[in-house]
Structure 1
Amino acid sequence: MNSSIESMALDVSDQEMLLFQQLFREHIGLYLPFSKKALLCSRLSRRLGELSLCTLKEYHSLISLPHEEAERQRAIDLITTNETYFFREQKHFDALRDEILPQIDRRHPLKVWSAASSTGEEAYSIAMVLDDHRGQLPWSILASDISQRVLSFGRRALYPMVRGELIAPAYLSRYCLRGTGEYEGHFLVDQKIRKRVSFEQRNLLSLPADMDGQFDVVFLRNVIIYFDFPTKVDVLRSVVNKLRPGGWLIVGHSESLHGMPLELQMHAPSIYRRLP
């Protein structure tokens, strides 16, 4: 990478930051405060070098063009935070197993949505719980994200062993195939549960109406913290509409729905039910 481009990008102006704030808010609802200037630079500087562009303003002009949708998506992929791991926030999976599943008719075709699935660890963690407790009964998982890059990673289902450190030993041996040779230090999620998980791109700002009322459980964790308050409310209203009446919504432990006019009743901290 051109070192001059890298050092230039680290000196992003307030005007340039405002341009990217507006672009990401418009397309994905992401609120990018001025405190994230360094993140913007570190994520985009390499791409500027690859395109031989000299300023972030030039790159913004490029990705603002209507026909540059692919490059705009690449910028979105670069800027969104995707780091995760299996069974993150374990208490949610315990609640799914011990409190939520027992209240759903076992004959009912269970549908779960991992609404900000990133590279798939959350969706496959859910799948392990469902297979363990629902087996061959009808169930499926939709895993969605705004980033095509992370969706491709999730479909591949091959992970470094460090991502699976919190997988229970029984689940690790049952659902994960240890890599050998060039895949040493990795594991592959077993096809038995992979086939129950579908990965699709979804923008939380523009969810299709045909998803309304489809899901028994929605995991929407560690994503609304990136939205401003009005956008949080809009996104959550839309997501709640995707739940069937009485369905369950799980958000991140650090995320609060306090003061939001939503058709939800708190079951436990970070766990809610849609009103009948």
Structure 2
Amino acid sequence: MAILLSDAEFHLFQTLMLKQAGISLSVAKKPLVAGRLAKRLSHYQISSYRDYYRILAHDRQEFQRAIDLLTTNETRFFREPLHFRLLQEQILPAYKNNPARRAPLRIWSAASSSGEEAYSLAIVCAACLGEQPWEIFASDISLRVLQKARTGLYDMNCAAEIPQAYLHAWCLKGTGAYRGQFLIDARLQARVSFAQVNLNAELPAVGMFDLIFLRNVMIYFDKSTKQAVVARLSQKLKDNGWLFIGQAETLNGLQHSLVMHTPSVYRKIAT
């Protein structure tokens, strides 16, 4: 018999996720919470979600497991192609042709999920910048998806939106036990680092970035969390750096000093 998640219990998880991860769970997410956490109740052989909530209060490892279960990690290679077109046609050529530039180009994929965005950025950088110095830092709150991202190994059906020229140049088709999969080239993997970062907390010392991709994550935040996250990440953006958000997202109603280049693309103009 299925264990029911009461409204009061759901509110506990709503509050916990908002406080710890900045994620706002609407009432419509109640069945998702119940379904994804039910296996943990079975694991502990407990009969209520409230009992499981009590476990989370003192077991950091189990709390991370709950975060992994409740965070949605929808992503794909070359998602929102207009952003990659802007990179290829305008932004990266300007960096490449700047004779005064000495420091490596640094890009942050701030909600990288299982790595598709970070590796898409790496492919474009490799194609546009070649051996010029560049690096990509990718982060997520979920350890589960980060573990997958570090492997650089994906099912072949994930390759549908990778341009064929890039697929042949930077992705290795699996054989034998890896048939039906592909591996991101080791040369690209060497330029990408992954780390767990909670955007809803004080950011670690990750340095400054020329571009930050904060795409399709703010849809899970309430307004106050969006405001705080954008403020934190803006501080990590170099002068004249670029911030990309999801094309279904907006900074309207938030206080910030960024200038909109096109919808979903902003720039931190040097003063």
TM-score by length of 1: 0.94
Corresponding residue of 2:144 = 149
Distance in 2 of aligned mates of 1:209 and 1:79: 23
Distance in 2 of aligned mates of 1:159 and 1:83: 14
Corresponding residue of 2:256 = 262
Distance in 2 of aligned mates of 1:31 and 1:57: 19
Matches within 5 A, 1:241-260: 241-260=235-254
Per the TM alignment, residue 47 of structure 1 is displaced from its structure 2 partner at its CA by: 1.8
Corresponding residue of 1:73 = 64
Secondary structure (helix, strand or coil) at the match of 1:260 reads: coil
Question: Structure 1: where are the runs of 5+ without partners?
Answer: none
Whether contact under 8 Å (1:107, 1:137) holds in the other structure is no
Matches within 5 A, 1:135-214: 135-208=130-203, 210-211=205-206, 214=208
Per the TM alignment, residue 107 of structure 1 is displaced from its structure 2 partner at its CA by: 4.1
Q: Percent identity?
A: 47
Amino acid at match of 1:71: E
Corresponding residue of 1:236 = 230
Per the TM alignment, residue 102 of structure 1 is displaced from its structure 2 partner at its CA by: 2.6
Secondary structure (helix, strand or coil) at the match of 1:230 reads: helix
Whether contact under 8 Å (2:93, 2:128) holds in the other structure is no
Distance in 2 of aligned mates of 1:99 and 1:244: 18
Corresponding residue of 1:85 = 76
Per the TM alignment, residue 211 of structure 1 is displaced from its structure 2 partner at its CA by: 3.5
Q: Deviations over 1:14-73 (max 9, x none)?
A: 1011100111111111101111001101211112212212111111111012xx111000
Secondary structure (helix, strand or coil) at the match of 1:163 reads: helix
Secondary structure (helix, strand or coil) at the match of 1:238 reads: helix
Distance in 1 of aligned mates of 2:191 and 2:141: 21
Distance in 2 of aligned mates of 1:87 and 1:188: 16
Secondary structure (helix, strand or coil) at the match of 2:114 reads: coil
Question: Structure 2: where are the runs of 5+ without partners?
Answer: none
TM-score by length of 2: 0.95
Distance in 1 of aligned mates of 2:255 and 2:90: 25
